[in-house]
Structure 1
Amino acid sequence: MKKVLCGLFLAIGMATSAQAHSLWINVFESHAHQPPHALVSLGWGHVLPMDDILNSPGGRIGLEQFELIDPALAKTGLIRPEPDSGEPVQTSGGFDLFAGDMALQKVALKKGAANGVYQFSAASVPSFFTQYIDQAGKPRMQMKPRNEISGIKEVLVSVKYQAFAKSFLTVGGWQDPEPLGHDLEIIPRTDLSSLRAGDLVEVTVLFHGKPLTATAKSIEYITAHSSSFGQSEGFSLFSYIIDGNAQFRVQSSGQWMISVSHKDDVTPDGPLKDLIGKADQVYQGASLTFTVK
């Protein structure tokens, strides 16, 4: 158990680094038959389109929300993976076998489906981690908010982590999508349905509904990589976020992911004031995936 907790804490502590696990949504369109359909699944880890499973012992994550939002902003709940123990279903001398549910499902459009942009949205279950010294002077750690733990003498670390993900399905023609209200959110300002290699992609990044921006206190930026560019070499494109805005040029066809991470302190007068007494810092990550033709 301690090993698992340490692994989870490491994932949280690295949430603002390039090595952190990311949560993303895969959306692959098929136009072989009309009306078209899309295969939708979740991604977790580092490598598009699939890297790890959500219930991996080295870094588990659960879903609080997984939805499809139509052009009129009506929401439909999507199938979410069932909670799992994370234990192997089979083991041998050379390997362990784990069952993984990545929420694979088919969204089949009907004749007369509304034109516009359909947004796929996911949010992880918030994770809390508190490391502390108890009244007997022993170091402890629990996956709970600080206010739910008794016998604390000294708090060493008290954090909350949550991940958000978005992707899109365009029917008929592109329209700029509305913000969905994620705590940390990437909003495209470019038509993602007809991108070609070399095109400029512009996005807006919001933190609690307000533009995120690079400052002397916190250097905010997005990264972008693709299964066909950067991923195999372990690098990403980089763009500072200024007054909420960032941009880059896609370098190749294939699936791309834009990511952003943000760490903020909990203060009595800030956007995280509801976490006073629960956590001292919040780490959040957001992703946006799309395909370049």
Structure 2
Amino acid sequence: MNISKLLLAGTITASSLMGHSLWLNSFDSLSKKGGHTTVGIGWGHNISIDDSVPSKMQFDSFDLIEPKGEKIALKKPFSKVEKIFEGDNLTITQSNMAMQKISFDEKSQKGTYSIALATKTGYFTKYIDKKGKTRFKREPKDKIKNAEKILSSNQINTFAKSYFAFQEWTQPKKAGHNLEIIPTSDLTKVKAGDSVTFEVLYKGKALQSGYMTAKSEQNPHANALFSSIRKGKAKFTLPNNGKWIFKTTHKKEAELTLINNASATITIK
């Protein structure tokens, strides 16, 4: 049985913590009779596991979506990360990645499962205060009390998904995210040199234009591959095996600028 997975993750915008990204990890240990997939949240710069998720980050939803579309709530990260040890120039804290195991048996639904994550809505406002100083706050503009002039105000939503197939590939179900990347290739058959295609949705409809980028885990400092999005479709040809991260952002300029982020990581075996 071939198992291939697509990790879909939202990328935090430049206004957030030092350009860190948010994604989902999945690690398969499957057989024809069952097995399990371990899933968890990734945070930092380098997949698959880089850093713990900050306890102040808030999540709206974190679900397993079965092949037929049913959702099962998963455990979210800790709301408070406790320190286990500190001393001798060493600190140990809880690993805050919401790791959990999904087990299968012979009677489990065959097909493509997905893990879907959405952060709570965040805000980032740039303004000039009453003393003439330029300031930044992670709050909506109507909550800035000492503003003389609002320079910009953004509403930010970040989304992540992870796909993995149990025994066979089926077309994945939508999660209903504002911005969503869905594979349209059978990822259990993808190998180095093949093309991978995606459907890109904004508010449930095909995103008419935009672009996606892709980078390989094997060479994270190399230039990214680029694909335009046309009528909700994007396509990449991947030259090597391993994990690849795809990213896209939809930005709607207005008095309150709406920014939605999504990214995708696939593993080619």
2:152 to 154, 157, 162: 157
Q: Structure 1 pair 87/149, CA: closer, same or farther in 2 (3 Å)? A: farther
Q: For 1:46 and 1:213, how far apart are their aligned partners in 2?
A: 29
Query: What pairs up with 1:177-216 in 2 under 5 angstroms?
Result: 177-214=172-209
Q: Structure 1 pair 235/92, CA: closer, same or farther in 2 (3 Å)? A: farther
Amino acid of the structure 1 residue aligned with 2:13:
I
Percent identity over the alignment?
A: 33
The unaligned stretches of length 5 or more in structure 2 are: 1-11
Q: Deviations over 1:143-181 (max 9, x none)?
A: 211223334321122112221111112123212123221
Q: 1:72 Cα deviation (Å)? A: 1.6
1:240 aligns with 2:204: no
Asked whether the 8 Å contact 1:37–1:108 carries over to 2, the reply is: yes
Q: Deviations over 1:200-241 (max 9, x none)?
A: 100011122232233xxxxx211122323x32x343221111
1:289 aligns with 2:265: yes
Q: Structure 1 pair 281/13, CA: closer, same or farther in 2 (3 Å)? A: farther
Alignment TM-score, normalising by the size of structure 2: 0.84
Asked whether the 8 Å contact 1:23–1:45 carries over to 2, the reply is: yes
Q: Give the equivalent residue in structure 2 for 1:272.
A: none
Q: For 1:29 and 1:101, how far apart are their aligned partners in 2?
A: 20
Q: Deviations over 1:74-108 (max 9, x none)?
A: 11111110123799963665x66554311111111
Q: Give the equivalent residue in structure 2 for 1:106.
A: 101
* Corresponding residue pairs, total: 257
Q: Give the equivalent residue in structure 2 for 1:221.
A: 211
Relative to its length, the structure with more strand (as a share) is: 2
Secondary structure, aligned partner of 2:13? helix
Q: Structure 1 pair 33/49, CA: closer, same or farther in 2 (3 Å)? A: same
Asked whether the 8 Å contact 1:22–1:287 carries over to 2, the reply is: no
Amino acid of the structure 1 residue aligned with 2:263:
S
Q: For 1:13 and 1:24, how far apart are their aligned partners in 2?
A: 16
Q: Give the equivalent residue in structure 1 for 2:7.
A: none
Q: For 1:170 and 1:191, how far apart are their aligned partners in 2?
A: 10
1:253 aligns with 2:241: yes
Query: What pairs up with 1:53-72 in 2 under 5 angstroms?
Result: 53-55=52-54, 61-72=57-68
Q: Give the equivalent residue in structure 2 for 1:22.
A: 21
Secondary structure, aligned partner of 1:31? strand
Q: For 1:245 and 1:134, how far apart are their aligned partners in 2?
A: 44
2:72 to 54, 60, 76: 76
Q: For 2:82 and 2:251, how far apart are their aligned partners in 1?
A: 28
Q: Deviations over 1:115-142 (max 9, x none)?
A: 1211110112221122323345454433
Q: Structure 1 pair 158/177, CA: closer, same or farther in 2 (3 Å)? A: same
Alignment TM-score, normalising by the size of structure 1: 0.77
Asked whether the 8 Å contact 1:23–1:286 carries over to 2, the reply is: no
Amino acid of the structure 2 residue aligned with 1:290:
I
Q: Structure 1 pair 162/34, CA: closer, same or farther in 2 (3 Å)? A: same
Asked whether the 8 Å contact 1:129–1:142 carries over to 2, the reply is: yes
Amino acid of the structure 1 residue aligned with 2:127:
Y
* Higher relative contact order (CA closer than 8 Å, sequence separation 6+): 2
